[in-house]
């Protein structure tokens, strides 16, 4: 028993030091990429004709939403994988991605009004995309909420996996129902019928790449944290079991 728990703790030594160095280098690289993307959004991309400088928020507003979607997709896939394999690692991945997706959608919900205020003259409007983002944000906040209310790890993993799957299937319905309900938002500018300046498009894709890199970085940290939490839970159960009178 003692050996089992000891081996779960990471070894300290030269191996870990190079790991930490690599990690620092990666973090630095992502920070650099983010800096370049920010610079490009501020100074390289052309100023939009009617909206002016404020339109530059678009490079991080829209790409945050896309990154959030990628995170929710990871939650969905990890939830299914957990139910199939029962490997807790998938559960850790699912919760990490959900939390990061909520963070990115929080960015969307904050940058949206900042953009809307000078352009539309109001902070918030119940238009299709704003409402959709709000509902999606709520869905995954509920997912995180459920996790805090179930103590037993395996039960928590199963219940939240099912919820994660239901939420993912709800996304297209939320999207289409609200879109049909009302549309006042600027139409999509990427893809068919888009009228985005090629320079704007490349800056936007650069920003997206930067945010995806941030997401991967956060995901790894958060996953590690979940793994450590799991280890602590295991140790606690072990010591509780040993503390019990025979």
Partner 1 sequence: MALLRPTTILLGKELRSEFRTRELLTTTWVFVLTVLVLFSFTFDPTQAESRQFGSGLLWLALLFAGSLMLHPSFARERVNDTLAALRMAPIEPVSIIASKILANLCFLLVAEILLLPIFAVIYNLSLVPILGPLALVLLLGTLALSTVGTVFSAISSRARMRELLLPILMLPLLAPALIASTEATRGLLEDPPVLSLSWTGLLAAFDIIFLTVTWLFGEYLLEE
Residue ranges binding partner 1 (CB under 8 A): 83, 135, 138-139, 142, 145-146, 149-151, 155, 158-159, 161-163, 165-167, 169-170, 173-174, 176-178, 180-181
Binning the chain into helix, strand and coil, the percentages to the nearest 5 are: 80, 0, 20
* Pick 2 or 151: Cβ nearer partner 1: 151
Inter-axis angle of helices 88-120 and 153-181, to 10 degrees? Answer: 30
| Smallest distance from partner 1 to CB 135, Å | 5
CB of 175 to partner 1, least distance (A): 9
CB of 113 to partner 1, least distance (A): 20
Q: DSSP of 30-92, one letter per residue? A: HHHHHHHHHHIIIIISPPBTTTBGGGGGHHHHHHHHHHHHHHHHHHHHHHHHHHHH--HHHHH
Q: How far, in Å, CA of 64 to CA of 76, rounded?
A: 18
Give the residue with the Cβ less far from partner 1, 138 or 189: 138
CB closer to partner 1, 73 vs 146:
146
Closest CA to 164 of 235, 75, 242, 85: 75
Least gap, CB of 187 to partner 1 (angstroms): 19
Print burial letters for 14-41: b (CB count within 10 Å at least 16), e (below 16). Answer: eeeeeeeeeeeeeeeebeebbeebbebb
For residue 73, the minimal CB distance to partner 1 (Å) is 16
- Closer by beta carbon to partner 1, 51 or else 150: 150
Nearer to partner 1, 10 or 152 (CB): 152
Q: How far apart are CB 105 and partner 1 at their closest, in Å?
A: 13
Residue number with CB closer to partner 1 (83 or 225): 83
Measured distance CA(95)–CA(87) in Å, rounded: 14
- Return the number of the residue (74 or 163) whose C-beta is nearest partner 1: 163
Contacts of 176 (CB under 8 A, 6+ apart): none
Least distance (Å) from partner 1 to the CB of residue 167?
A: 7
């Amino acid at each position: 028993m003692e050996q089992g728990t000891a081996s779960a703790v990471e070894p300290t030594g030269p191996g870990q030091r190079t790991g930490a160095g690599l990690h620092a280098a990666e973090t630095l690289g992502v920070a650099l990429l983010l800096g370049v993307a920010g610079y490009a959004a501020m100074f390289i991309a052309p100023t939009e004709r009617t909206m002016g400088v404020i339109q530059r928020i678009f490079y991080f507003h829209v790409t945050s939403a896309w990154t959030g979607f990628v995170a929710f997709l990871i939650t969905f896939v990890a939830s299914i994988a957990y139910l199939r394999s029962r490997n807790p690692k998938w559960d850790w991945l699912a919760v990490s991605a959900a939390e990061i997706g909520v963070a990115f959608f929080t960015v969307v919900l904050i940058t949206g009004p900042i953009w809307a205020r000078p352009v539309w003259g109001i902070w918030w409007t119940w238009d299709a995309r704003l409402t959709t983002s709000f509902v999606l944000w709520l869905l995954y906040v509920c997912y995180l909420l459920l996790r805090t209310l179930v103590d037993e790890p395996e039960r928590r993993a199963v219940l939240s996996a099912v919820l994660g799957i239901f939420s993912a299937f709800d996304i297209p319905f939320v999207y289409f129902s609200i879109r049909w309900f009302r549309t006042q938002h600027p139409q999509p500018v990427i893809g068919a019928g888009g009228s985005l300046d090629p320079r704007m498009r490349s800056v936007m894709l650069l920003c997206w790449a930067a945010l995806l890199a941030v997401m991967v970085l956060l995901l790894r940290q958060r996953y590690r944290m979940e793994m450590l939490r799991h280890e602590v839970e295991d140790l606690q159960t072990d010591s509780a079991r040993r503390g019990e009178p025979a």
